[in-house]
Every structure is written in structure tokens, then in C-alpha cells.
Amino acid sequence: MPFFRAIMIVCLCHRVSDRDIRRQVAEGVSNFEVLQDETRLASACGSCLDCAREVFDEALARPACSERCADRCAGHAGGVPISLPAGSQVMRRLSVRPELLAG
């Protein structure tokens, strides 16, 4: 069974996803302001700032994976099942279509 990779759009104004944020961190971005410069994240309406910061901090906390595990590893920037507190911004905004989970 293939690994399901859900994508969460964090910034609707500039269409920046959680995957985009993790990819930037994997490529060496370690400063939130630099991330904003690279992606324009949270630079329009600003409503995604808390969620974006949370995803960024979570991505920094995870060790980067090697390229050879890109399709198999849950910790890779391409798709990461996250485990955050139930009340977090990320978990409130994450939704999965039930038909995709049916086996």
C-alpha cells in the first residue's frame, strides 16, 4: 500500500503548502524571515502566520532524511505525517477526505 501524502495549503494568498515549507527547511533555510522572503509566506493578509510558524518550527525540529529514502520515509520533506497537540493550528486546519483513507 503506497504512503498517503496529504498536502495542507498553509498560505492561501501565495499558495504555499506545508510541503513547500518543509522542502525549504530541507534545502537549508533555518530562519523564518528568510523563508518569508523565499516564498512570500504570510506577507499578504497574515492570517496564516501562526500556522506557518508552527509548521516551520516542526520542520526544523525533524532531522533531514537522505535522498535515498525520499519515497519511503515518513520524515522526508515530501510528505510527513505530523503529530502535534490536538489544539494546534496545524491540526485544526488539516483535513483528509475520508474516501482516500478507505482501504
**CATH number of the domain to which 73 belongs:** 1.10.10.1100
Is pTM beyond 0.85 here?
no
Tell me if 33 is assigned to some domain.
Answer: yes
Q: Is residue 1 part of a domain?
A: no
For the chain, the domain total comes to 1
60: in domain: yes
Residue 3 lies in a domain: no
* Close Cβ partners of 31 (under 8 Å, ≥ 6 residues apart): none
Structural domain for 34, as ranges: 9-101
Asked if residue 50 is part of any domain, the answer here is yes
**Residue 2 domain-assigned (yes or no):** no
Tell me whether residue 87 is in a domain. Answer: yes
pLDDT tens per residue across span 31-56: 999 999 999 999 999 999 999 999 99
Query: For 3-28, what is each residue's pLDDT tens digit?
Result: 566 789 999 999 999 999 999 999 99
